[in-house]
Amino acid sequence: MAINRAWPADGLRAFSNRPHPVPTRFWIISLAAIFVVALLFIGHQSESLPSIPSLKKEPEQAQPPVPPPPAPNSPPKGPAKGYDPQEFDVDENGLRIWVPPNMDALVHGVHASDGIKRKPTYPLNPFPQTPMVSPVEDNRPRPWLGAVICSAWDIKRRMLIRYTWMKMFKDVPMDQRFVISNPGPDWQAVIQQENATYGDMIVLDHLQEDDFTANTVKTVEFYRWLSEKSPVKYEFVSKMDTDLWVNARGYWDRQVLPRLDVIKSADGNTTTGYKANVNFTTIGQFYYDSYHRSTFPHGAIYTVTWDIVTLLPKLQDKFHVTAGEDVTMAWLLMKGQQKVTLAVLSQEEKFEFDHKDTRPGERTPWARKGTDVTSSWHAMYGSEILAIHQLKKDDDWLMVAACFDEKGIKEMPPYPDKEPEDKGEKPGYPRPFWTQIPNDFWETDVDGTLLCNGIWKLEPGVGRDMKKIEGGN
């Protein structure tokens, strides 16, 4: 029956019944070769043809920040060179008008010019509305926002923070938040559930979650979110890292509250609000980066007044700076010629945790005899501690947590009568980075305070050693 005939083979067999028959195998191989060549030709041509649009409507996607327009002359790669403050213009008071160095900033091993070429690797779908709840159900005013910048996927560390210093200091008048970028469609349901449970997450859904974004524009875009969407206008905003323990009680009592005016009820018995008594002020540890030839507050934690929160996104829209987030702040302020008062945290108050400096033979974060608290790296010592950085290991984090309670830091235990033999690696006690600031970065402002990089005003009476000058106001 015709339905059962293998017509291609039969046709070829009939065609080959000639005086000089051609083998069937030849025709099969020839047709196969023609078919392959045709496919290759079509595939090549299709690369230059427009694709057929999908009939399925894709959901609207949040758009990532527009990268800065390419400069006519691309800035050079490598460390800042030819950056001579003596050649800068001066203002009417004879002070230099500082400008950022002409260079391609380096961000965790990636040049900014390369980093901005990245495209999102997943759809940046708008994230559902983020609920904001208070960790304490009362009506007390909270003028201070403590925001931890973190990866969307770092759920474990968020839980550790929630149930240690955030819970311990829940009565401090601070709103506590985590700031993440768009987690992508695969993680959206997980993050939604987490936020439905805790209500403490701010989602910047127009940003992809990756290291380059986190270390460049994420902080400025967080400030933009606060300026445009926050239901609360805070007097102070602290940006923190996930590997930083903060003594929120001590930080509030010694750094934030003295810079606030307390507003009382008519009878004087109830606090109804707070108002910052300073403007354009940053609280942080002064830092110098020789590669970028710039000074700035160290990014593990710094606290800014609300006017800085609203200013930096506007400057970013105008100048399009792409650099490390700490450097970005400094360069934007230079370009905007905006001076900021810097309230300096000492190395005793904020430091990098050095496990090598802990007491030999003890499982404790307390420092050994002879520790150097003027170093930028050491273990815990004394009662001045406000922030401890570089707690990347959970064990170190929990050891530090055990040294605090809701009142702040516990009393340091005494040294043992006889310390066990130390067989481990000895601490190096490196010098703070502000000691490397070049001399010509410093000027004296019109009010007599020290001015660095043309933008950072030390508080009255504070010298270049970051200490209060004896007899200073």
Read off the CATH number of the domain in which 219 is found: 3.90.550
Q: Is the same domain home to 228 and 158?
A: yes
Give the residue from 258, 299, 468, 277 showing the smallest Cα distance to 387: 299
Q: What is the pLDDT of residue 418?
A: 83
Cα separation, 394 vs 147, in Å, equals: 20
- Same domain for 187 and 306? yes
**In which domain, by residue range, is 464 found?**
75-350+443-473
Pair 84, 126 in one domain = yes
182's tokens? 């768009």
Element (H, E) at 159: helix 155-161
The answer to the question of residue 384 being in a domain is yes
281 with 397, same domain: the answer is no
Helix (H) / strand (E) element for 182: namely strand 174-182
pLDDT computed for residue 218 by the predictor? 96
308 part of a folded domain: yes
Tell me: do 178 and 285 sit in the same domain. yes
**Inside any domain, residue 179:** yes
pLDDT of residue 63: 55
* Alpha-carbon distance values, 265 to 44, 84, 234, 274 (Å): 77, 55, 20, 12
Q: Are residues 212 and 255 in the same domain?
A: yes
Domain boundary residue, one of 366, 385, 409 = 409
**Do 345 and 375 share a domain, yes or no?**
no
Same domain? 374 vs 332:
no
Q: Which two tokens stand for residue 308?
A: 């800085």
Is residue 318 a part of any domain in this protein? yes
In the listed set 363, 387, 409, which residue is the last one of a domain according to the structure? 409
In this structure, the answer to whether residues 394 and 332 fall within a common structural domain is no
Q: How many domains does the chain have?
A: 2
Residue 4 lies in a domain: no
Q: What is the pLDDT of residue 64?
A: 54
pLDDT in tens, the chain (473 residues): 444 444 444 444 444 444 455 555 555 455 555 544 444 444 444 333 333 233 333 344 555 555 555 555 689 999 999 999 999 999 999 999 999 999 999 998 899 999 988 888 999 999 887 777 765 566 789 999 999 999 999 999 999 999 999 999 999 999 999 999 999 999 999 999 999 999 999 999 999 999 999 899 999 999 999 999 998 999 999 999 999 999 999 999 999 999 999 999 999 889 999 999 999 999 999 999 999 999 999 999 999 999 999 999 999 999 999 999 999 999 999 999 999 999 999 999 999 999 999 999 889 999 999 999 999 999 999 999 999 999 999 999 999 999 999 999 999 999 988 877 887 788 999 999 999 999 999 999 999 999 999 999 999 999 999 998 765 55
Strands 260-264 and 350-353: unpaired
Residue 356 placed within a domain = yes
Order of strands across the sheet that contains 387-389? 245-246, 387-389, 350-353, 377-378
Indicate whether 279 and 290 sit together in one domain.
yes
The predicted structure's pLDDT at residue 71: 54
The verdict on residue 10 lying in a domain is no
User: Do 337 and 394 belong to one domain?
Assistant: no
Residues 94, 150, single domain; the answer is yes
CB 365 within 8 A of CB 354: no
Residue with the two structure tokens 């028959």: 21
Residue 23 counted as domain residue: no
Examine the fold and report which residue of 409, 435, 458 is the final residue of a domain before the chain moves on.
409
What's the pTM? Answer: 0.84
- Give, in order, the Cα–Cα distances in Å from 448 to each of 287, 295, 377, 461, 465: 22, 20, 32, 9, 16
**366: region left, alpha or beta (phi > 0 left; psi from -120 to 50 alpha):** beta
pLDDT (0 to 100) of residue 12: 41
